[in-house]
Amino acid sequence: MTSSGNNKLIKDWIRPLQKSLTIETESKFINTLGRTKYFNDYLYESLTKLENLNLSDEYLRIFNEFSKKYIEYNKLEVNQRKRLIIDTRKSLYKLGKTLEIENSNNISNTFILNKIDSSLSLDSDIALIKNVGKVYKNKLNELGVFNIKDLINYFPRTYLDYTNRVKIINLKPDNLYTCIANIKRFYIYKSKKNSNLSIMNIVVSDETSSIKVTKFFLGRRFRSYSFFASQKSLYTLGTKLAISGKVKLTEYGKTFVDPQIEILKDNNDNFNFSGKILPLYSLAEALTNMSFIKLMKKVLIYAKQYPEILNKKQLDALSLLSKGDSLINIHLPPTQKALIESKKRLVFDELFLLQLKFLLRKRKTKKNIVAKQFPQKKSLLKEFLNTFPFELTKSQVKVLNEIKNDLANPVPMSRLLQGDVGSGKTIIAIASLLIVIEKNLQGAFMAPTEVLAEQHYKNLLKYLNPLLVSIELLTGNTPQKKRKEILSNLNNGLVDILVGTHALFEDKVIFNSLGMVVIDEQHRFGVTQRNRLLKKGENTNLLSMTATPIPRTLALSIYGDLDVSQITELPPGRIPITTKIISEDDLTSLFKIVEDEITKGRQAYVILPLIEDSEKMNLRSAKKTFKHLSEEVFFKKKVGLLHGKLNSQEKNEVINSFLKNEINILVSTTVIEVGIDVPNATIMIIYNSERFGLSQLHQLRGRVGRGSTKSFCYLVTSDKNGLENKRLCVLQTSNDGFYIAEKDLELRGPGQILGYRQSGLPDFVLDNLPNNKFLIEKAREEAIRVINNDPDLKENIVLRNILIDNSDNKFIHDFLN
Ligand code: ADP
Ligand code: MG
C-alpha cells in the first residue's frame, strides 16, 4: 500500500466519524439515533474496523480504548459523554493533521514519460533516439537491445519501493521507507575495526520525532581528510534530506542503515528516486541504472503501440490490464498494485502463447493418422511380467495402464513419467517397449551419458534376451565396423531396441519402423533433439522419464504437450537412507566411519563440485581431494577418480573396477549423478553440499541405498551457517523426491531450478510463476477456447502473426501458413 493511497483510506474513515461527533454534540449528547444505528453503536463499530488503515500502534491503542468506552456510552453521565467526545475529536484531528503534513512534501509517485515523436516506432533503431550516441548504442547492443521494442522488453531485475513516505514516529523496523527530515547532528569517523571503512552518523528529525541514519563508505579514499570535509559541507545542520531505505532495530533504537540519501534544496525539488518505485536493471558495466531509466522514459510511450493479442472482451473476462499499460508499468510502476497487475498480464501472455503452441502441435499430430494393422508377434509383455521377480507396485500398475491406453489409441503417445530414483521407471519403460515390439515396431532408448546407456543396455539384455528380443547399443564409442553392422540391421528391422546416447540423433541412424522413443533423464535433452529422434518414425510414441520431478502444475505449463504420469512410491523393502549434515571440522570422525564400512566390505562415494581447483571459487576439487584421500587418509585402501574430462574408456575402466569392488572409494564429480548402480556402495559423502540444488543432492544420494544394507549420506558443508541451513535440512528429513522438488522450488524459485530445462519460458515468467500459479490454468482454458472458436486463427490475426514470429518451431509455420 502506498502512503498516498493509504492516506485517502484514512481520510475517508475520519470524515463520517467527525460528522457524527458534531451532530451528537449539537444534540447535547442524547445518543442520537441515525438512519439505522444509535450514535454509540456506530462509533464502536467504526473504531474497531481499523485493519485496512495501516495505523501506527499508538493510534491502534488509542482507538481501541475509545471503542470500549462507547459500548458503555449509555451508562455515562452527560459530562463524561462530553469528555469522551472531545477526546475522540482531538485524536481524529491530530491523525488528520499528520496526513496533511505527509502529503505536503509533494513528491510525485510517477515518472513523467516523454512525448511521442512521430518519426519513431517500436521497430526504430535505438541509435535514432535522441542523445543515444555510438558508445551508448554499442553498450545496448551488447545487452541484445537493438530497437525500441527490445528496449521495452528489457525488464527490471527487481525494484526498490520508496513510495512509503511516512513521519519518523510511524517508522516500523524492516520496512522500506522514504522520510523527509532535517539534519540535527552530523558525525563522521574512521572505523577502528576495519582499516578500509568510514562511518557517517546523522541524526535527523521532523515534526514527530528523530532517528539515526548510518552510512558506510568502503575504500581507502573515503578515509581522507578532504572526503570528510566535503561530507561536512554537504550535510550542514538544518539541511533537508530525503532518506530512502530500510529501517532496522539496532541497539540505539530504530536506525536507517545505509539508505539512499538525497539533499533537498527546497520543497519543490524534483527527486530522482525518493518516493517512487525504482526499477533496478541488470546492466553491463558503464551503463548506470539512472541513465537507463532516463532512456526508458524516452521510449516507453511507444509501448502503447505494442500489438494487443487479447480483445477488450477477453481482457475484461480475464481481468487483465492492457499490454501497453503493463509494459509501461513493469518499468516504472506507479504503485505496487499496478506492478503486480502488470506482471500478471505479461506472464499470462507467455503462458497463453505457450499453451497455444502446445495445442497446435497436438492438433498437428492428430492430423493424418492412419491406423495400421500390425501382425502380432506374441505376448511379450505378459512373458516379461511373468519372469520379473517382483510384483509391480500400485503406482507402477497405474502408470503402465495409462501407457497401455495411450498405445491402444491411434494418436501417438506423448507422456512424461516422473518418479524418484529407484522407483522402478526402467521396468515400466521396458514393458512399454515390449507392447510396441509386439506390433513389429522398433524402439529407441536414449540416455544422456554413455555410462547410463551401457547400464540400460545390460539391464535390457538381462530381461529381454530370454524373450528373444534383439537389442543393440550405439554410442560415440562404438567401433566403426560394429556401427555399420548395427545400422544395417536396424534398417532391415533386425534390431528391436536400439539403446544409446546422442549418437542416436545422427542422420545415418535409420530405423525400419520406429514405434517408440524412450528418453531417460529427459531434461538433459532439448525439445528439438527429442523431435529429431521422433521424426525417424511415423507417429512415434514418446515416453520421457525424469527422476527430478517437478510439481504437476509447473509440469503442465512447461511440458504442456505431454501428459504426466507419476510413480509416487518405492518398491517395498527398501531401507531408507539416513542423511546427516556435517561440518568440515568433523571430517576426521567421518573418515573413521568410512574406514569401518570398508572393512566390512562396503564401498563409498565422495562427490565434489569441481574437477580441478579454481582461483575464482573457494571450493574443493575432485583431483585435490583424490590426492589427499588416496595418499594420506586412506593410503591403505583403493581410491578411484572419476570426472567428465576422462575419455570414455578411462571412465568405463574406473566404473567397472568400482562395480567389481576393486575400488573401495570412488572420488567423483556429479558425472555419477545419473546411472551408476552399485548396490554394495553404502556411503555417500558430498562436499560443499550447499552448492547443489536439493533435487540434485537427492539424485546423488540415490546412488546408495540400492542394496539390502543400510546406507548413509553425509552432506559436508564449509558454510558456517550450513548446520542450520534450511535447505539441507529438507534432505535430512525427507526421502520423497516430489516433496523435495516442491521445497526446492519454494526455496530457490523456479528460475533456478528450471532454467536448465530449456523450458521455453523466459526467466521473467519463471520468476513470477509462484505468485501466479492460477494463471497456468486460465491461460490453458483461454487457449482452448480460442482454438475451438477459430482453429486456424483466421480471425485472430495479431495472435497468428505473433505465433509465427516467435516460433522457431517449423511446425507452427507449417500449420498456420
Ligand atoms: P529408476 O529407473 O526409477 O531409478 P529402476 O527401474 O532402475 O528405477 O529400479 C530400481 C530397482 O528396483 C531395480 O533394481 C529394479 O529391478 C527394482 N524394482 C523395480 N520395480 C520393482 C518392484 N515392483 N518391486 C521390487 N523391486 C523393483
Ligand atoms: Mg533410472
pLDDT digits 0-9 by tens, 416-475: 999 988 899 999 999 999 999 999 999 999 998 888 898 899 999 999 988 989 999 999
Closest CA to 416 of 570, 558, 528: 558
How many angstroms separate the alpha carbon of residue 445 from the centre of ligand 1?
17
- CA distances to 294, 693, 729, 741, 750 from 746, rounded to whole Å, are 35, 12, 14, 9, 8
- Check residue 137 and give its pLDDT: 92
- What are the phi and psi torsion angles at 444 (to 5°)? -120, 140
Query: In the predicted model, is pLDDT for residue 557 greater than 90?
Result: no
Q: Where are the domains of the chain?
A: 4-101, 158-280, 380-409+424-546, 578-734
Closest CA to 333 of 178, 161, 175: 161
Closest atom of ligand 1 to CA, residue 429:
6
- Check residue 1 and give its pLDDT: 41
Closest CA to 266 of 292, 301, 241, 234: 241
- What are the phi and psi torsion angles at 765 (to 5°)? -70, -45
Looking at all shown ligands, the one closest to residue 426's CA atom is 1
pLDDT digits 0-9 by tens, 353-375: 888 888 887 766 554 545 455 55
- Check residue 104 and give its pLDDT: 44
Q: Which CATH architecture has domain 158-280?
A: Beta Barrel (2.40)
CATH 3.30.70.3270 fits 380-409+424-546, yes or no: no
How many angstroms separate the alpha carbon of residue 426 from the centre of ligand 2?
6
- CA distances to 320, 704, 727, 730 from 683, rounded to whole Å, are 53, 7, 21, 19
Looking at all shown ligands, the one closest to residue 447's CA atom is 2
- Check residue 107 and give its pLDDT: 44
Query: In the predicted model, is pLDDT for residue 289 greater than 90?
Result: no
Which one-letter DSSP state was computed for residue 413? P
Sign of the C-alpha dihedral computed for residues 135, 140, 146 and 148 taken in this order: negative
Looking at all shown ligands, the one closest to residue 521's CA atom is 2
- Check residue 112 and give its pLDDT: 67
Query: In the predicted model, is pLDDT for residue 705 greater than 50?
Result: yes
CA distance 419 to 549: 7
Element (H, E) at 329: helix 323-331
More reliable by pLDDT, 791 or 815: 791
DSSP secondary structure letters along 563-586: EEEEE-SPPTTPPPPEEEEEEGGG
How many angstroms separate the alpha carbon of residue 104 from the centre of ligand 1?
71
* Spatial strand order in the sheet of 639-642: 578-583, 712-717, 681-686, 603-607, 665-668, 639-642
- Is there a contact between 469 and 380 (Cβ–Cβ < 8 Å)? yes
* Cβ-based neighbours of 439, under 8 Å, separated by 6 or more: 374, 376, 377, 515
- Is there a contact between 178 and 164 (Cβ–Cβ < 8 Å)? yes
- Is there a contact between 404 and 565 (Cβ–Cβ < 8 Å)? no
Query: In the predicted model, is pLDDT for residue 771 greater than 60?
Result: yes
Q: Do domains 380-409+424-546 and 578-734 have the same CATH topology?
A: yes
How many angstroms separate the alpha carbon of residue 425 from the centre of ligand 1?
7
Residue nearest atom 26 in ligand 1 by C-alpha distance: 571
89 residue type, one letter? R
- Check residue 187 and give its pLDDT: 94
| Residues framing ligand 1 (Cβ under 6 A) | 390-393, 396, 419, 421-427, 547, 571
Query: In the predicted model, is pLDDT for residue 109 greater than 60?
Result: no
**Residue ranges in 105-210 assigned as alpha helix (H):** 134-142, 148-152
Query: In the predicted model, is pLDDT for residue 784 greater than 50?
Result: yes
From 388, 396, 399, 426, give the residue whose CB has the most ligand 1 atoms within 8 Å, as the site to mutate: 426
Q: What is the length of the chain?
A: 817
Query: In the predicted model, is pLDDT for residue 785 greater than 80?
Result: yes
How many angstroms separate the alpha carbon of residue 673 from the centre of ligand 2?
11
Looking at all shown ligands, the one closest to residue 392's CA atom is 1
- Check residue 47 and give its pLDDT: 93
Closest atom of ligand 1 to CA, residue 702:
4
Looking at all shown ligands, the one closest to residue 393's CA atom is 1
* % pLDDT > 90, the chain: 49
- Check residue 451 and give its pLDDT: 80
CA distance 748 to 691: 12
Residue nearest atom 1 in ligand 1 by C-alpha distance: 422
- Is there a contact between 443 and 433 (Cβ–Cβ < 8 Å)? yes
The Cα diameter of the chain in Å comes to: 110
CA distance 483 to 473: 9
Which three three-digit cell numbers place residue 646? 576422462
pLDDT category at 495 given cuts 50, 70, 90 is: very high
CB atoms within 10 A of CB 208: 16
- Check residue 530 and give its pLDDT: 83
Least confident of 168-172, 393-397, 509-513, 545-549: 545-549
CB environment 719-736: b (16+ within 10 A), e (fewer): eeebeebebbebbeebbb
How many angstroms separate the alpha carbon of residue 727 from the centre of ligand 1?
28
How many angstroms separate the alpha carbon of residue 414 from the centre of ligand 2?
19
How many angstroms separate the alpha carbon of residue 456 from the centre of ligand 2?
8
Closest atom of ligand 1 to CA, residue 391:
23
pTM above 0.85? Answer: no
Helix (H, G, I), strand (E, B) or coil at 556: helix
**Residue ranges in 508-615 assigned as alpha helix (H):** 527-534, 552-558, 587-599
Q: What is the mean pLDDT of the chain?
A: 86
CATH label, 578-734, candidates 3.40.50.300, 3.40.50.620, 3.40.50.720, 1.20.1260.10: 3.40.50.300
pLDDT category at 811 given cuts 50, 70, 90 is: very low
Residue nearest atom 9 in ligand 1 by C-alpha distance: 424
- Check residue 410 and give its pLDDT: 83
